[in-house]
Amino acid sequence: MADAPVALRDVTYAYGKGELARPVLRDVDISVGPGEIVLLTGPSGSGKTTLLTLIGALRAMQQGSAVVLGQELMGATERQRVALRRRIGFIFQQHNLLGFLTARQNVAMALELDGATGERARLARAGEILGAVGLGDRGESRPDQLSGGQRQRVAVARALAGAPGLILADEPTAALDRQTGGEVVRLLRGLAKGRGVPILMVTHDPRILDIADRIVAMEDGRILPSEGAAGAPRPLPPFRR
Amino acid sequence: MNVLARAPPAPPPPAHGALPWAGQPAGPAPPPPAAPSRAPSPLAALRLPLRLAWRQLRFEKARLFSAIAGVMFASVLVFMQLGFRSALFDSATALLAAFRADIFLMHPMTLVSFRPETMPRARASQALALPEVQAAVPVYLAQATWRSPENGSRRPIQIIGFDLEAGVMDFPGLAPLIERLKRPDSMAFDLRSRPEFGDIARLLHERGPFDAQVGNRHMEVVGLIEIGPSFGADGNVVMSELNFRRAVKERAASAIDLVAIRLLPGADPQAAKRRLAEALPGDVMVLTQPELVAWERRYWEDATPIGFIFMFGSLMGLVVGMVIVYQILFSDIASHLREYATLKAMGYSNGYLGRVVLSAALILAVLGFLPGFAASTLLYDVVGKGTFLPLAMDTERALGVFAMIFAMCAAAGLLAMRKLRDANPADMF
């Protein structure tokens, strides 16, 4: 358990202050093992997204303990959190690609923070990863010249480019139709499994539950004790091992 | 659940087998080690944001051009204001700057040369007591009305009278006229006087020397010299001491306005100035020529709102330019908040994104300044010819204006950077 990429204990989080404080997470324990693909489901307002932003070091912790890729987030400085984000690949509902850059340049943006690689190496690597998501020939296209599915695949490539230790995805299929959505997450799954990168994905989409190693259901800021989500193909207990 | 029936998408084509992580069946591969995160070199830390800023600016051509136009507008405005200011001050002191002498004596109560306090003529002779003084020439200054020989309209003109042969005061074109100016009632007209005095050069060319009315007297224009109009006088005529007394009868010969002193070659002007100040009574002030020009200029700067007006105009130009650049940068950030937030989520720091915004501001400064500089150089030429003001582009002003535009854009960038705080990656999910 100690080397789990994500290990949260007793995480409690509330919006607002004092009497107006509205708790969104209560005593959440969750962990993601190496290479594990975990889907987080639950009604809106159940705290999934807040949990994801805490794990992604996008939000400061309030209470509890969260160790992500070896970094304790409770009391972490802004600098430590920014450094941690570089080791996490994010995929959002919208692709959020920079409209003025080509697909290849967008993917290379994930590599520019690493001073070890030069410009040529960055672009070459970006090209390789675009090839891996099946867009090897669209590297010079701008996002507005790509279809929705292609853009989300570029976003997948960008999330993977920096060789992240963890991928966080927030409803990556929400803006896509059923078929392209399925294709994108299966592509993501295939690439992540190949590299042994764990994925924590928030989703409402029942059609993609089959990609999960484990499904975690949330309600009212708590993790439901059972494996909830009926019909999941391979339900696993919330705590493996 | 027919989704399940779908074959998992084939990972990458076999051609990419070189990729160690691609195309492998899912297996218990160990997680890759965290990427070796080395901080980018300081050069890359500046170059990459600059490149990102340029790519973003370049992408939206209309926005880029309106920003460039805004900065260009500000540059032109500041150039014109500073140009006019310096041209007016230059022209205000044109007459004094045209004098050729080492040291001047002036009454300390004289605020400005076109309204001089007179001093005793004896001071010129007293100055000669110093061995290093080669010549001391009394100068008479007065304003009289000039009747245009073309249409008869009357305007004030500056009359300068002095001993032409002393060789102390020299204006371009004066030397060959000295013999003719010795004749009674003769004068030399300033070629660069405003055209309202009449086209003297053409008349002189057509008729040869001709009579014109100065004050209440007819005097003969025998030739042309070059001085240039100033604030106090739209035109100048130069004549001998004697002719000055004829033209300005009310002036006593013993009351002079200025003494121009030439020193022996090799004499130290500062030392001579100190000795003159000690030797002469308190009704004269001893000045070198730059000091005399500065004295005159100080009058126009302090006693008139001219300096303030042009500084205010420059400032307004800068404020307008800053607002335009700020608007452009702000809307660039506002319309790309999601993208900026994504970059933050990817591990880009606030500082990095701040450098992107500042780089954009500085790119706009350079891109707007260059055409602004070109347009101002052109305008200086056109406007200078139209207004007879000495407008010219000089390196010092160009650098100064560039510094101002640079600061203006940087300030706009710093203001716009505050908007970056709204790009909160936690709101992205």
Instruction: Note whether B158 and B85 are same-domain residues.
Output: no
Identity of the residue in A34, A96, A131 whose CB atom sits nearest the CB atom of B339:
A96
Kindly identify which residue of chain B lies nearest to residue A134, measuring between CA atoms: B12
- Residue at a domain's end among B248, B283, B318: B283
Identity of the residue in A100, A136, A198 whose CB atom sits nearest the CB atom of B55:
A100
Test A132 with B44 for CB contact under 8 angstroms: no
Identity of the residue in B32, B39, B348 whose CB atom sits nearest the CB atom of A196:
B32
Distance from CA of B68 to the nearest CA of A (A): 19
Q: Is residue B32 part of a domain?
A: no
CA angle B110, B112, B113 (to 5 degrees): 95
Give me the domain span that covers residue B53.
48-90+306-428
- Residue at a domain's end among B251, B283, B315: B283
How far apart are the C-alpha atoms of B318 and B24, rounded to whole Å? 61
Interface A-B: count of C-beta contacts within 8 A: 176
Instruction: Note whether B348 and B374 are same-domain residues.
Output: yes
Q: Is residue B335 part of a domain?
A: yes
Chain B residues inside the 8 Å CB shell of A158: 346
How far apart are the C-alpha atoms of B22 and B9, rounded to whole Å? 13
Instruction: Note whether B422 and B371 are same-domain residues.
Output: yes
**Of the ranges A87-91, A109-113, A150-154, which one carries the lowest mean pLDDT score?**
A109-113
What's B284's DSSP letter? -
Per-residue pLDDT band at A226 (split at 50, 70, 90): low
Distances (CA, A) of A11 to A87, A222, A226, B344: 22, 10, 19, 24
Instruction: Note whether B253 and B338 are same-domain residues.
Output: no
Best of A6, A62, A82 to mutate (most B CBs within 10 Å, chain B): A82
pLDDT at B3: 41
Identity of the residue in B22, B27, B34 whose CB atom sits nearest the CB atom of A87:
B34
Instruction: Name every residue whose Cβ is closer than 8 Å to that of residue B80 and which is 6 or more positions away in sequence.
Output: B376, B379, B383
Q: Is residue B39 part of a domain?
A: no
Q: Is residue B8 part of a domain?
A: no
pLDDT at B298: 86
Best of B21, B55, B58 to mutate (most A CBs within 10 Å, chain A): B21
Kindly report the number of other CB atoms within 10 A of residue B301's CB atom: 16
Chain B residues inside the 8 Å CB shell of A90: 342, 345-346, 428
Distances (CA, A) of A219 to A33, A216, A228: 22, 10, 10
Q: Which two tokens stand for residue B397?
A: 């002003």
Best of A13, A25, A100, A102 to mutate (most B CBs within 10 Å, chain B): A100
Chain B residues inside the 8 Å CB shell of A131: 12-13, 15-16, 19
Test A208 with B3 for CB contact under 8 angstroms: yes
The three state secondary structure string of B143-172 is EEEEECCCCCCEEEEEEEEECHHHCCCCCC
Helix (H, G, I), strand (E, B) or coil at A75: coil
Helix (H, G, I), strand (E, B) or coil at B343: helix
Q: Is residue B40 part of a domain?
A: no
Identity of the residue in A162, A186, A231 whose CB atom sits nearest the CB atom of B35:
A162
pLDDT at B39: 58
B314 touches B74 (CB < 8 A):
no
Q: Find the mean pLDDT for residues A6-24.
A: 86
Q: Is residue B390 part of a domain?
A: yes
Instruction: Note whether B226 and B363 are same-domain residues.
Output: no
Kindly identify which residue of chain B lies nearest to residue A49, measuring between CA atoms: B429
What b/e string do you get for A102-116 counting C-beta neighbours within 10 Å, with b at 16 or more? Answer: bbbbbbbbbbbbbbe
Distances (CA, A) of A225 to A27, A41, A51, A216, B239: 13, 13, 17, 9, 111
Instruction: Note whether B314 and B197 are same-domain residues.
Output: no
Instruction: Note whether B262 and B138 are same-domain residues.
Output: yes
Q: Which two tokens stand for residue B385?
A: 């010819």
Q: Is residue B276 part of a domain?
A: yes
Test A113 with B37 for CB contact under 8 angstroms: yes
Q: Which two tokens stand for residue A104?
A: 């290849």
Identity of the residue in A100, A110, A208 whose CB atom sits nearest the CB atom of B346:
A110
Instruction: Note whether B272 and B381 are same-domain residues.
Output: no
Instruction: Note whether B155 and B251 are same-domain residues.
Output: yes
Best of A98, A166, A167 to mutate (most B CBs within 10 Å, chain B): A98
Test B31 with A5 for CB contact under 8 angstroms: yes
pLDDT at B170: 75
pTM of the predicted structure, to 2 decimals: 0.72
Beta-bridge partners for A202: A40, A170
Test B55 with A101 for CB contact under 8 angstroms: yes
Distance from CA of A44 to the nearest CA of B (A): 12
Instruction: Note whether B216 and B116 are same-domain residues.
Output: yes
Handedness of CA A44, A48, A52, A55 (dihedral sign): positive
pLDDT at B114: 78
Kindly identify which residue of chain B lies nearest to residue A231, measuring between CA atoms: B1
Test A128 with B16 for CB contact under 8 angstroms: yes
Domain count, chain B: 2
Distance from CA of B353 to the nearest CA of A (A): 12
Helix (H, G, I), strand (E, B) or coil at A13: strand
Instruction: Note whether B146 and B279 are same-domain residues.
Output: yes
Mean pLDDT, all residues of chain A: 84
Kindly identify which residue of chain B lies nearest to residue A5, measuring between CA atoms: B31
Beta strands at B236-240 and B154-162: parallel, antiparallel or unpaired: parallel
Share of chain A above pLDDT 90, in %: 13
How far apart are the C-alpha atoms of B152 and B196, rounded to whole Å? 10
Instruction: Note whether B86 and B159 are same-domain residues.
Output: no
Checking phi first, is residue A163 left (phi over 0); if not, alpha (psi -120 to 50) or beta? left
Test A96 with B24 for CB contact under 8 angstroms: no
What string of pLDDT tens digits covers the 429 residues of chain B? 444 444 444 444 444 434 444 444 444 444 444 444 455 577 777 888 899 899 988 888 888 998 899 899 999 999 998 888 888 888 778 788 878 788 999 998 888 877 888 899 999 889 888 888 888 999 999 999 999 888 888 899 999 999 888 877 778 888 888 899 999 999 999 988 888 888 888 888 888 888 899 988 899 999 999 888 877 788 899 999 999 998 988 888 889 999 999 888 888 888 889 988 888 888 889 999 889 888 888 888 887 887 888 889 889 989 988 998 898 889 888 888 888 888 888 888 888 889 999 999 999 999 999 999 999 999 999 988 877 777 888 899 999 999 999 999 999 999 988 888 888 887 766
Best of B342, B343, B353, B356 to mutate (most A CBs within 10 Å, chain A): B342
pLDDT at B138: 92
Half-sphere exposure of residue B99: CA atoms within 13 angstroms, side-chain side: 30
Distance from CA of A186 to the nearest CA of B (A): 6
Test A110 with B31 for CB contact under 8 angstroms: no
Kindly report the number of other CB atoms within 10 A of residue B40's CB atom: 17
Kindly identify which residue of chain B lies nearest to residue A84, measuring between CA atoms: B347
Q: Is B325 exposed, middle or buried (0-12, 13-18, 19+ CB in 10 A)?
A: buried
Test B32 with A163 for CB contact under 8 angstroms: yes
Distance from CA of B56 to the nearest CA of A (A): 6
Q: Is residue B37 part of a domain?
A: no
Best of A61, A73, A77, A96 to mutate (most B CBs within 10 Å, chain B): A96
Beta-bridge partners for B288: B103
